[in-house]
Amino acid sequence: MGKYFGTDGFRGEANINLTVEHAYKVGRFLGWYYGREHKPRIVIGKDTRRSSYMFEYSLVSGLTASGADVYLLHVTTTPSVSYVIRSEGFDCGIMISASHNPYYDNGLKVINGGGYKLEAQIEQEIEAYLDRQFSDSKDLDLPFAVREQIGRTVDYAMGRHRYIGYLISLATRSFKDKKVGLDLANGSATTVAKGVFDALGARTYVINSEPDGTNINTNCGSTHIEGLKKFVVENGLDVGFAYDGDADRCLVVDEMGKVLSGDAIMYLCGCYMKERGELNHNTIVTTVMSNMGLYKALDQKGIRYEKTAVGDKYVYENMMTNGYSLGGEESGHIIFSKHATTGDGILTSLKVMEAMLEKKEKLSELIKDLKIYPQLLKNVRVKDKAAAKNNEKVLEAATKVEKQLGTEGRLLLRESGTEPVIRVMVEAQTDEICADMVEQVIAAIRDCGQTE
């Protein structure tokens, strides 16, 4: 991770540690970088945060000042930006979103011409440029485009519509008579998801579909799924899907109100794809956050798996290197490499529906052999992530917990890639053991004096 860019772009609180000046300078650099040999075409999408409009205008100013033509998708999903880049030959794209974070945060996710996360080398060059621009002794800025070389701005809502059409085309059969609930998180999915399910014939029931700029992810969506659980049960729905702010992740609720995490989705889809001969090399790519129960269930089904660092870009890198067709994160970022280069919540919904419809089974029946271990994850805000994680007392506490858990559980202690927090996660046989083990490590973090 760099000074500005983490595992999922440049993220921070709007106008605190991610400002309009940052966005303008990022635009200036990208417009110059991709315009060294030709006039670049760059596409921008955004979520529903109030600050997304402010950052959109700042990026456009920087990009066009450097000579780039900018195409605006307006409110849309992160995977739609990736799709439009790939399908229509853009040099790169930018999604303005802080994903599942609160409304007052925002972020700049830069996506390269192949439709996946920007290369680390280019991120480093952007960071070096930003450091020069915001230092006391500034180097000369990049040249401005002049006259006919100045970039233009194009309303490109049709790009989002083409993405919607693409999703609809992926369905293998009609959703007629299926009662489907959607929690749109008052975010990006509000412009896409319902239209897709309606077009496929579902009886679509929607909640949290009225964004006001400050209610994105607020007690809704994939990070607050209690509302959808209740909604599915009370309305007798067949299934419910919950997205995050930019709709690149999805969690599922079955007909009885039980939540299916990303691990359960990978298990369900992996088994289905294996039966159809579509699970390349009989392997699913997971991250270190996936549950022990998933691995035990995959062992029983004879399905192989690999583990990467946390972050869907690491999952995708592994998939591309080895030719795998399915991978994802426990949090709900699921990648189907045949159809997408990044996690796509709405695409994931369609794949879950496909498995249900083709096998003619209820969702609960499709995952009956999967037993997820109890898991507890807590975030601790700290002043210095590296100092807290590597503190001697913290390491001693972690070692003690690992010995107590033995082979019937595990501890994961890691730095967040997007927030100033240490994540403490324990899996064990009971919720009580999880809580006790997590508290032991958190107490050590508090004692080391790094908590805010």
Pair of tokens at residue 318:
């592994």
Q: Residue 375 burial (CB < 10 Å; 0-12/13-18/19+)? A: buried
Nearest to 350 by CA among 114, 120, 121, 168: 168
Q: Tokens 């805010």 belong to which residue? A: 452
Q: Are 172 and 57 in contact (CB under 8 A)?
A: no
User: H-helix or E-strand containing 173?
Assistant: none
Q: Are 350 and 167 in contact (CB under 8 A)?
A: yes
Rg (CA), the chain: 22
Residue 41 near residue 75, CB atoms below 8 Å: no
Task: Name the residue with tokens 């009370």.
Answer: 234
Report the C-alpha dihedral over residues 59, 316, 217, 431, rounded to 10 degrees. Answer: -150
443-to-302, 330, 388, 398, 422 alpha-carbon distances in Å: 40, 26, 12, 11, 13
310 neighbors 414 (Cβ within 8 angstroms): yes
Neighbouring C-alpha atoms within 13 Å toward the C-beta of 16: 7
Sequence-separated (6 or more) residues with CB below 8 Å from residue 403: none
Task: Determine which one of 99, 261, 331, 416 is catalytic.
Answer: 99
Answer for the pair 76, 109: CB distance below 8 angstroms, yes or no. no
List 111's β-bridge partners, or say none: 93, 117
Taking the C-alpha atoms of residue 207 and residue 199, their distance in angstroms, rounded to an integer, is 18
CB 293 within 8 A of CB 263: yes
Which DSSP letter does residue 331 get? Answer: T
Whether residue 349 lies in the annotated active site = no
CB 220, CB 207: distance < 8 Å = yes
CA 309 – CA 8 distance, rounded (Å): 13
If DSSP codes are grouped into helix, strand and coil, which group holds residue 39? Answer: coil
Q: What residue type is assigned to position 181 of the chain?
A: G
Catalytic positions, written as ranges:
99
